[in-house]
Amino acid sequence: MTTPTDTEIEQGVSTDEDPPAPRNLRRALLAVIAVAALTISVAAGWLVGNRDQPSSIGSGSVDAGFARDMSTHHDQAVQMAGYTRDHTSNSSIELLAFDIETSQYTELGQMQGWLDGWGLSRISSQPVMSWMTGHSHVESDGLMPGIATPAEIDKLLRLTGKPLDLFFLQLMIRHHQGGLPMAQYAAEHAKEPYVRNMAQKMAQSQSNEIVQMEQLLRQLGGSPLPAPD
């Protein structure tokens, strides 16, 4: 190893190896990778969903209602996870947020592919969750169970560090809890086998993620929000 000169020391020249890349550079690279992964995920999901075209799926069916309402549910989860991925300082939260973002983006693309393949609009004038016979359709604030309010989203998007980690986990646990009944109902009542299959996998993965997030929340000294009714 060579001995640095006084001039090299004064100028901050590295004589052995380059210093570690700054954290903001790492985040920028991760963001680029994430955008590419999400683009691929939603496109791949749409192609898979659009490939499966049954003979007849009505606009008021369980299949169509599930695809529309769960797409709306997923869209908010992707927003929350994407912001958290870019702003958390906790590597475990960062990985969790990325996993939720990519998996739900893929499912979102697949459900939209179904609707396009069925020749149905991605939106409907029918009340949300009206396809779930015997279930409460909305919360007292008019939102689907588990959906964060505009004020909660605004608060999340202003947080960083540990406060962000805690609030993200609280919102996402409640978000998953609100979406589970939809996935479970579709797994039992949807007409098409591929819809039932994805709904079942979705229910299982979100149940597992709830357990994981509750563990992380406890480790950070937090506690869950009240579960949706």
Which amino acid is present at 116? Answer: D
Instruction: Note whether 182 and 200 are within 8 A (CB).
Output: no
pLDDT tens profile 168-217: 999 999 999 999 999 999 999 999 999 999 999 999 999 999 999 999 99
Of 65, 63, 47, the C-alpha closest to 55 is: 63
- Rounded to the nearest 5 percent, the helix, strand and coil shares of the chain are 65, 0, 35
pLDDT tens profile 141-167: 778 999 999 999 999 999 999 999 999
pTM of the predicted model as reported, rounded to 2 decimal places:
0.78
User: Residue 100 has what pLDDT?
Assistant: 96
At the fourth CATH level, which superfamily is domain 58-121+140-223? Ferritin, core subunit, four-helix bundle (1.20.1260.10)
Domain range list for the chain: 58-121+140-223
Instruction: Note whether 145 and 72 are within 8 A (CB).
Output: no
Spatial neighbors of 128 by CB under 8 A, at least 6 apart, are 69, 72, 137, 138, 144
pLDDT tens profile 54-80: 558 999 999 999 999 999 999 999 999
User: Residue 21 has what pLDDT?
Assistant: 46
Burial of 151 (0-12, 13-18, 19+ CB in 10 A): exposed
Confidence of residue 24 (pLDDT cuts 50, 70, 90): low
Residue 20 has pLDDT above 50, yes or no: no
